[in-house]
């Protein structure tokens, strides 16, 4: 009896990864379901905001502050001294005037003028002052010689209809004054040498402080406002507009005879203030004269005198100078 041999069918090859076909199918199905049901990670947008550098952030904040300041000025709100950075404007200037007559606050109330009483500096002092200004370097802006003055009283906002009252006050207080001999002294910085904004030279004259106080008292009696800083006579030589080195102290020996004072009107421009003469006032009293020695008389004698009697020399005082002409 012969036994018929039948060939065995080959078993299907196992998957290379060791998993059965069923497991492979299930894995593929799960993967397909996950891809279909779960959202794909969103690719980053090209225009998505990126984190700015500190410099860009500071620039945006500065632009925002400037925009706010422009909107406030357009709405009529008073402009401050330049956004806080520890302190500014026209502040406690020497004598309450160094730089104040130029108006650090550019906002001027409607219907008012910025005025100040001052002594005009004569043109013959321009040479030595200009020589001192040449020593400045960096961001110093020189004051022109024809605009130099000694401020006596500063009025930031005078109604237009009150200017004549100030003219009458000036005449009343100054017509009985004698010309003043004004002396230049040493230079200084305001508000201090460490952080200067103004470079000035001090001035002194007999009766100058009393005149400044009388003017301020008279202005207050008129119901008008002045700066509240104590008077310190000076001439502003330059103003600082940015980083700049300081100049060592300088001493001036020049002087001049002031024959009057001026009421100035200050008009602000981008290039600096312009000063217009609103009125002038003469010091009309004569200069004081030194007492003249009386001639001596010899005792009389019986014998005739052989010498002529001597007379003491008389001195004449120079005529007072005229006040500065209108400009």
Query: Which residues does the annotation mark as catalytic?
Result: 149, 234
- The gap from C-alpha 198 to its chain's centroid, in whole angstroms, comes to 8
Token look-up 């005792």 returns 299
> What would you report as the CA-atom Rg of the chain, rounded to the nearest whole angstrom?
43
Angle (CA) 178-317-290 rounded to 5° is 90
Which is nearest to 172 in space by CA: 206, 209, 205, 221? 221
Collapsing DSSP states into helix, strand and coil, what is residue 202?
A: strand
| CA–CA separation, 256 and 326 (whole Å) | 19
- The gap from C-alpha 224 to its chain's centroid, in whole angstroms, comes to 23
- The gap from C-alpha 292 to its chain's centroid, in whole angstroms, comes to 51
Token look-up 């005078």 returns 158
Measured N-to-C along each axis, helices 208-221 and 163-174 cross at an angle, to the nearest 10 degrees, of: 140
Are 278 and 167 contacting, i.e. CB atoms less than 8 angstroms apart? yes
Sheet (strand 234-240) strand order? 140-142, 234-240, 198-204, 180-190, 255-258
């Amino acid at each position: 009896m012969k036994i018929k041999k039948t060939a065995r069918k080959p078993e299907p090859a196992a998957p290379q990864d060791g998993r059965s076909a069923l497991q492979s199918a299930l894995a593929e199905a799960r993967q397909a379901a996950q891809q279909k049901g779960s959202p794909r990670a969103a690719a980053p947008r090209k225009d998505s905001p990126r984190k700015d550098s500190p410099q860009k952030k500071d620039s945006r904040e500065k632009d925002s502050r400037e925009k706010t300041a422009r909107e406030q000025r357009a709405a009529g709100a008073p402009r401050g001294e330049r956004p806080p950075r520890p302190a500014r404007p026209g502040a406690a200037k020497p004598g309450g005037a160094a730089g104040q007559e130029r108006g650090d606050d550019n906002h001027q109330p409607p219907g008012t003028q910025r005025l100040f009483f001052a002594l005009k500096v004569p043109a013959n002092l321009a040479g030595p002052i200009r020589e001192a200004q040449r020593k400045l370097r960096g961001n110093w802006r020189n004051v022109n010689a024809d605009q130099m003055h000694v401020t006596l009283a500063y009025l930031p906002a005078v109604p237009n209809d009150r200017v004549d009252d100030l003219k009458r006050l000036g005449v009343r207080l100054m017509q009985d004054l004698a010309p003043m001999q004004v002396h230049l002294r040493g230079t200084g910085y305001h508000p201090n040498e460490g952080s200067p904004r103004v470079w000035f030279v001090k001035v002194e004259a007999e009766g100058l402080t009393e005149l400044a106080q009388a003017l301020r008292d008279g202005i207050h009696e008129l119901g008008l406002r002045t700066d509240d800083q104590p008077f310190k006579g000076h001439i502003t030589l330059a103003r600082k507009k940015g980083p700049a080195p300081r100049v060592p102290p300088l001493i001036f020996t020049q002087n001049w005879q002031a024959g009057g004072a001026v009421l100035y009107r200050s008009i602000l421009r981008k290039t600096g203030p312009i000063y217009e003469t609103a009125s002038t006032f003469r010091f009309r009293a004569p200069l004081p004269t030194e007492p003249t020695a009386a001639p001596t008389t010899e005792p009389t004698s019986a014998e005739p005198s052989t010498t002529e009697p001597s007379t003491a020399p008389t001195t004449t005082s120079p005529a007072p100078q005229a006040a500065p002409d209108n400009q």
